A = this chain, B = another copy of it.
Amino acid sequence: MAQASVKDVARLAGVSVATVSRVLNDNATVSESNRARVLAAVERLGYRRNAVARSLRTDATGTIGLVIGDILNPFFTELARAVEDEARIAGYAVVIGNADERPDRQDDYVRTLLERRVDGLLLCPTAELTPLVRDTVESGTPVVFLDRTLHGLDVPTVRADGADAIDELVGHLLGLGRERLAFVSGPAILSTGRERTDAFACALARRGLPVRPEYLEEGDFQAASGRAALARLLDLPEPPDAVVAGDNLMALGALDEIHARGLSIPGDVALASYDDVPWFLHLDPPLTAIAQPVQELGRRAVRALAERVAGREVETVTLRARLVVRGSCGEPREAPRSGKPAGPRSGRHDEGSVPA
């Protein structure tokens, strides 16, 4: 079932391939009658333009590569969706790669994406700056970093800054009477890991409070590490009365450990998370979280990349994350949607209820 080519169309329409190409790209004047015949021939043959050949000639594939850190992390998933959406609007197809937080995998993807001549690359760089990434950006390939950045490299980056939100969160916790705040951070080698930790420490320092080192746990942005961190924190002689997780997966792990110990949120310990994911709202109590403007992040990244592809310079974009207060730190201030007032409530903390 050989696909028809321009040649076949040309023959059937009784014109030259040049004319066919012209009507296909309508970038030159073609007589109305010929245009009609070509279109008819295209229709008849079910002709579909071969983007591969076209790309070879035009040196543009209409494709961008997206390499994300961990496809199982809802944050990246949502990001991928946003990128996908905006790319579609901009006329790009997206080839996606999951680095799984491993530099070698990241490089594998970067390599095949370059071989495939993507027009540009959206990269959530892994911890280390690999030689390949350095070469790539230095060779002039359009690259934009997303979510994370890498120092020492002049690459436009689209990211969200959560320092203010973290500060606000710390204020919120202290305002609710919490006194022993702990933070479960991501890996310090990742920009997103370090920044959040710093912001937390800063927020405490700014208020003249000490940063107790035993309240600073380092995880790896995965659920298991969050759980382990919580276990250590709760085993402390003087456990924290509030915990902030550095990302949504570690919050999940934290939640686990807290449940496993039969502790209540926020009664025994307050919990909040960096990253907001849809189902945080459906937890009991709903989780207070710092929401990144994920959609906007994706959009801006694609737009920035498109600019780079067009040869224009772009600035780094820094958006702001914002605090979303729910019930998991105590004293929720959002009034619930009205429904039937609560029926019988069991005395235990684990019954489904929206805070009154």
User: Which A positions have Cβ atoms within 8 angstroms of B?
Assistant: 1, 46, 48-53, 55-56, 61, 63, 71-72, 74, 77-78, 80-81, 84-85, 88, 93-98, 108, 111-117, 135, 139-140, 223, 252, 255-265, 267-268, 278-279, 281-285, 336-337, 339-346, 350-354
Given contacts A52-B116, A81-B98, whether A336 and B260 have CB atoms under 8 Å apart is yes
On whether the beta carbons of A63 and B116 are closer than 8 Å, the reply is yes
- Measured in the bound complex, the distance between the Cα atoms of B140 and A133 in whole Å is 39
On whether the beta carbons of A93 and B81 are closer than 8 Å, the reply is no
Contact of A81 among B71, B340, B351 (CB under 8 A): B71
Contact of A77 among B1, B77, B337 (CB under 8 A): B77
On whether the beta carbons of B346 and A267 are closer than 8 Å, the reply is yes
Given contacts A278-B252, A284-B284, whether A115 and B352 have CB atoms under 8 Å apart is no
Contact of A282 among B1, B77, B259, B340 (CB under 8 A): B259
Residue in A265, A340, A344, A351 with the greatest tally of chain B CB atoms within 10 Å: A351
On whether the beta carbons of A52 and B55 are closer than 8 Å, the reply is yes
On whether the beta carbons of A345 and B72 are closer than 8 Å, the reply is no
- Measured in the bound complex, the distance between the Cα atoms of B72 and A77 in whole Å is 8
Not counting A51-B112, A264-B343, a sample of 18 additional A-B residue pairs whose C-beta atoms are within 8 angstroms of each other reads: A1-B140, A48-B114, A52-B56, A52-B116, A71-B80, A71-B81, A84-B98, A88-B108, A94-B96, A256-B281, A257-B339, A258-B352, A261-B343, A262-B353, A264-B346, A264-B351, A264-B353, A268-B343
* Min C-beta distance of A132 to chain B, whole Å: 11
On whether the beta carbons of A284 and B259 are closer than 8 Å, the reply is yes
Q: List 14 A-B contacts (CB under 8 A).
A: A1-B140, A51-B112, A53-B56, A84-B98, A252-B278, A252-B282, A256-B281, A260-B336, A262-B340, A262-B341, A267-B344, A268-B343, A284-B352, A285-B350
* Chain B residues closer than 8 Å to A85, beta-carbon distance: 98
* Chain B residues closer than 8 Å to A96, beta-carbon distance: 80, 84, 94-96
Given contacts A71-B77, A93-B95, A98-B84, whether A345 and B115 have CB atoms under 8 Å apart is no
* Min C-beta distance of A47 to chain B, whole Å: 11
On whether the beta carbons of B77 and A93 are closer than 8 Å, the reply is no
* Min C-beta distance of A282 to chain B, whole Å: 5
* Chain B residues closer than 8 Å to A267, beta-carbon distance: 344, 346, 351
On whether the beta carbons of B268 and A255 are closer than 8 Å, the reply is no
- Measured in the bound complex, the distance between the Cα atoms of B263 and A51 in whole Å is 56
Given contacts A51-B116, A260-B336, whether A46 and B135 have CB atoms under 8 Å apart is yes
